[in-house]
A and B are shown apart, each in its own frame.
Chain A
Amino acid sequence: GAVVSQHPSRVICKSGTSVKIECRSLDFQATTMFWYRQFPKQSLMLMATSNEGSKATYEQGVEKDKFLINHASLTLSTLTVTSAHPEDSSFYICSAREVSRSYNEQFFGPGTRLTVL
């Protein structure tokens, strides 16, 4: 149980285009999902917290108009990188918190590798 999927796993796009990444909890409901980015040889940095049915909460320094987050259902959150530029190239990872459990363990998706040319 507690499986999180992401789609696509890899995307290459031209500078100026927008890219949408989907994060799904496959076998549990997740009222809260999280989006991270990871640069090569570095740790994960939290970008934003996505709450079902409400606006996302962004970490300091993360542009909310650049990284649009939508959490339309209890099993799906999307991250859209708008007008992508080469510096947005990174590994994006989502996680979901399983609320049915008595504790708050987070489970992570396999990640999406974004390359902006």
Chain B
Amino acid sequence: GIQVEQSPPDLILQEGANSTLRCNFSDSVNNLQWFHQNPWGQLINLFYIPSGTKQNGRLSATTVATERYSLLYISSSQTTDSGVYFCAVRSNDYKLSFGAGTTVTVRA
């Protein structure tokens, strides 16, 4: 199956800082999603982004499918941004393969 690697595994930010999370994948994909898992375990859809760039408020994402990576940008981080960010990809079937996640801690 597809291998998904996320970096860094942990990230500690001061409130107001910007950051970049990376997701590398081992094969071509039909779907790539970014999620934020909050402290209660709920996975929140951030982006559906198999290619190109999207922005939603302080968050934006870019996927370069030909080079097999995606980046998630968090700008002006807030304490509510804390949690685990997952990248998940899908190839020819409908199954999503998840990366190990990046744990983000934003300090006030």
Question: Which residues in A have some Cβ–Cβ distance to B below 8 Å?
Answer: 2, 32, 34, 38, 42-46, 49, 91, 93, 95, 97, 103-108, 110-111, 113
Contact = CB atoms under 8 A, between A and B. Distances in A.
Nearest to B96: A106
B43 interface: yes
Contacts of B99: 43
B100 interface: yes
Nearest to A59: B95
Contact of A34 (B42, B45, B96): B96
A103 to B, nearest CB: 7
Report the contact-size class of chain B (Cβ under 8 Å from the partner): 20 to 34
Contacts of A108: 35, 42-43, 45
B31 A103 contact: yes
B34 to A, nearest CB: 11
A104 B94 contact: yes
A43 B86 contact: yes
Given A91-B41, A93-B43, 5 more contacts: A34-B94, A38-B41, A97-B94, A104-B30, A108-B42
B48 A110 contact: no
A93 B48 contact: no
25 contacts: A32-B94, A34-B95, A34-B96, A38-B41, A42-B100, A43-B98, A44-B86, A49-B95, A93-B41, A103-B48, A103-B50, A104-B30, A104-B94, A105-B31, A105-B33, A106-B33, A106-B88, A106-B96, A108-B35, A108-B42, A110-B42, A111-B41, A111-B42, A111-B43, A113-B41
Nearest to A42: B100
Interface of A is mostly: strand
A107 B45 contact: yes
B22 interface: no
A111 to B, nearest CB: 4
B98 A44 contact: yes
A110 B40 contact: yes
A105 B35 CA distance: 12
Contacts of B97: 46
B94 A110 contact: no
Interface string B33-69: 1010000111101001010000000000000000000
